[in-house]
Structure 1
Amino acid sequence: MLEFLVDIEPGRDDTALLRFAFGLARQHGAHLTGLQAVMLSPAAMLAMPDAMLVLEEQELAAQERHDWWRQLCRGHGVEGSWEAYRGLHESVLSRRASLADLVLGQLSREAARLASGLHPLGRILTSDAAPMLLVPEHWAGTEGVRKVALAWNGSAEAARAIRAATPLLLRADEIVVLDGVSRIRANARHVPLALDAWLKRHALRARWDILDEADDNGPSIQAHARGCGADLLVMGAWGHSRASEWLLGGVTRHMFKHGELPLLVVEA
């Protein structure tokens, strides 16, 4: 059974992230764990004379949300569990993510800080604990992942992201490869990665869209993914491929700031 972990913010009981997470868990028969980290900012800890008491109360309130979570799981037909821990958000998530196959978080405007590693979810990406799937705040999809777009530039970063997405690809109805490799294959200086052969070995059929040089940027990649009707975009993050400019920080930052699709990313 796959283990999905979803990062729950206090007071956020009905979000696009939750609706997507339950739909994905139901599609894959996965166990879905809701996780809430309980913490106060360092400034609050210093300013509040009874900070430890407040922290204990917040931790107790978070732990008592298990009934709410159990009811949600039952309503969505998903097996799940609830966990709440006191500690730094990034530390709690990174440690718990080590036992997860996939971590789901919200792709909000604040998530732009992911690219600099300052956002708590960014620490999971850099910890190599689990792949991260980020869901835009206003995403309306609730039926799991049916059509997947793979941003492919032949790099190890992109390959790792696609490999991490294998369980999702196996249940998808359609896969589209946004191929930025074919037009530059002759001049590539790295060992070519045969994605087509890998997909065939995993009994995965894909349609290939060859992209030109003008498409090597975040807006174009996202536009192509949306244009083909994808409900998930898979890409590497913070890569430095010699074959293309796709996966440099600029593209990653654009996806985090202006993401319109659920985004599965893996840091190299």
Structure 2
Amino acid sequence: MHDILVNTARFDSWSRDAQYGVRLAALVQAAVTGVYVYPSPLYATPEFGTPDVIETLTDMSRILEASALGAREAFVDWAASLGVGQASWMVAQGNLADALAQIACWHDLLVLERDDDRTWSKPEDIAGLVLQVGVPCVVVPPRPVGGVSLARIAIAWNGAPEVVRAVHAALPLLQRAEEVLLVRGLPREPHHDVVWKPPFDIDGYLLRHGIQPRSQDLTTTGQEVGEALLEHARRFDADLLVMGAFGRSRFSEWVLGGATRHVLWHASLPVLLHH
């Protein structure tokens, strides 16, 4: 894992996603990019705004842009003080989701914060990124960020392609863990045209990469799966939960599956998701 992207909602202080992402980059010796996105003044312009109103909003946007660009040195110095050798700072004007989806393509991991009151007003907002961005995302819960540890990592496993991609993306983190817990749920139904003989062996795959997990069966089904996953992670005292982001497209919306939605919105630990 070489390049970590962190979104920050402000630049006069650093939000939780920036704090976690920079500390994670220092831990795994990765480069980090901080990104601040602000809306176009046209987005804030009233439908029947006068020229004076439009000019005022445009001037405010220019001031904000200049201040944001001026935060580059502060971000790089702050990252260096936490042990990150390579840090960069980007500013974008436009829609937050669109901007992050574009710049994430250059990175191995995107770190976001779950913010009930500000950036993400409902699960579907962050789901649009997790399901479309194309890179694994770590979602940081709304609690203070102290140190970042990868000593104990839990994996929510059911054999689905989304989980395989999440585990593959998390390998550099899993290899640093002292203990890994594999929470085995009921297998997803395979594609009706493809039957693998023998089935994919997750234990053998992890062992080839130097990871020997403990196993715990998850017999819960239905709406309780997400709650049960978080309970297993809590009992294991996990520092990170790795899972697939299950969802589907409904017209222009991305809709999360029930377990993913529950974990995303109720987790008290960082969650690495991949679609």
Superposition TM-score tier, normalisation by shorter sequence = 0.7 to 0.9
Which sections of structure 2, spanning at least 5 residues, go unmatched?
A: 249-255
Aligned pairs for 1:178-257 (under 5 A) are 178-181=183-186, 191=195, 192-213=199-220, 217-239=225-247, 249-257=257-265
Q: Deviations over 1:174-229 (max 9, x none)?
A: 21101114xx69xx656443211111121211111112236951111101101101
| TM-score, structure 1 as length reference | 0.85
The 2-side partners of 1:228 and 1:23 are apart by: 22
Change (3 A) 1:139 1:145: farther
1:132 aligns with 2:137: yes
1:66 counterpart letter in structure 2: R
The 2-side partners of 1:15 and 1:43 are apart by: 24
Q: Secondary structure at the match of 2:243?
A: strand
Partner of 1:244: none
Partner of 2:73: 67
Aligned pairs for 1:16-55 (under 5 A) are 16-40=16-40, 44-46=44-46, 47=49, 48-50=53-55, 51-55=57-61
Change (3 A) 1:35 1:27: same
Q: 2:183–2:215: 8 Å Cα contact kept in structure 1?
A: yes
Q: Higher mean Cα deviation, 40-49 or 142-151? A: 40-49
Q: 1:10–1:36: 8 Å Cα contact kept in structure 2?
A: yes
Match for residue 95 of structure 2 among 73, 88, 103: 88
> Which has the larger helix fraction?
1
1:86 counterpart letter in structure 2: Q
Q: Deviations over 1:234-258 (max 9, x none)?
A: 1111258xxxxxxx71112212221
Q: Give identity over the alignment, percent.
A: 29
Q: Higher mean Cα deviation, 228-237 or 161-170? A: 161-170
2:218 counterpart letter in structure 1: L
Shift of 1:261: 1.0
- Look at both structures and tell me which one has the larger radius of gyration over its CA atoms: 2
May I ask how many residue pairs the two structures share in their alignment? Answer: 253
The 1-side partners of 2:134 and 2:183 are apart by: 27
The 2-side partners of 1:209 and 1:189 are apart by: 22
Change (3 A) 1:193 1:208: same
Which sections of structure 1, spanning at least 5 residues, go unmatched?
A: 241-247
RMSD, matched Cα: 2.5
